[in-house]
Amino acid sequence: MTDQTVETMAQNDRPTWPALAKGFRCKCPNCGKGRLLHSYLKVNDTCSECGQELFHHRADDGPAYLTILIVGHLLAPALHVSYVHFRPDPLTMALMFSVGCVALSLFLLPRLKGAVIGFQWARRMHGFGDSK
Ligand SMILES: [Zn+2]
């Protein structure tokens, strides 16, 4: 099987955007019903609804990188705008942005991990191509 054939198969039966969206909701990229994660960031070995093997994922540092990228690009301009237009007390501003940064990071990290796993599943990476 050529690379082109595998790529075409992946695009036909595993569309990328729906898998990313299901992963972002922390649901199985295959069925969209089973839970992808348990505790905070641990990935379930298989989907409880459809049996899709999920242990093939290799998310590694990808979700953390994406979280830092997004949080930084949202809060850095907000920091600038708030300083230039409102000039809040430095302690208030530091507290506001620290809490906002931590809260947004904790919110995004599991969702981006799900999205990365959904992407890997859709593109048949790291053993996802061999599983059902
Ligand atoms: Zn499933």
Print pLDDT tens along the chain (132 aa): 566 665 565 456 888 999 999 999 999 999 999 999 999 999 999 999 998 899 988 989 999 999 999 999 999 999 999 999 999 999 999 999 999 999 999 999 999 999 999 999 998 888 888 755
d(CA 32, CA 114): 11
pTM summary value: 0.84
Q: How far, in Å, from the CA of 85 to the mean position of ligand 1?
A: 48
Spatial separation of the C-alpha atoms in residues 75 and 100, rounded to whole Å: 8
Residue 20 in tokens? 């990313």
List Cβ<8 Å contacts ≥24 apart for 43-49.
43/113, 43/117
> Residue 19 Cα, ligand 1 centroid: separation in angstroms?
11
Rounded distance from Cα 108 to ligand 1 centre (Å)? 22
Q: Which secondary-structure segment (H or E) carries 38?
A: strand 37-38
Distance 89 CA to ligand 1 centre (A): 49
Q: How far is the CA of 34 from the centre of ligand 1 (A)?
A: 5
User: What residues have CB less than 8 Å from 43, skipping those under 6 apart?
Assistant: 36, 37, 54, 55, 57, 59, 113, 117
Residues with CB under 5 A from ligand 1 (ion): 28, 30-31, 34, 47, 49-50, 52
SS3 state of residue 61 = coil
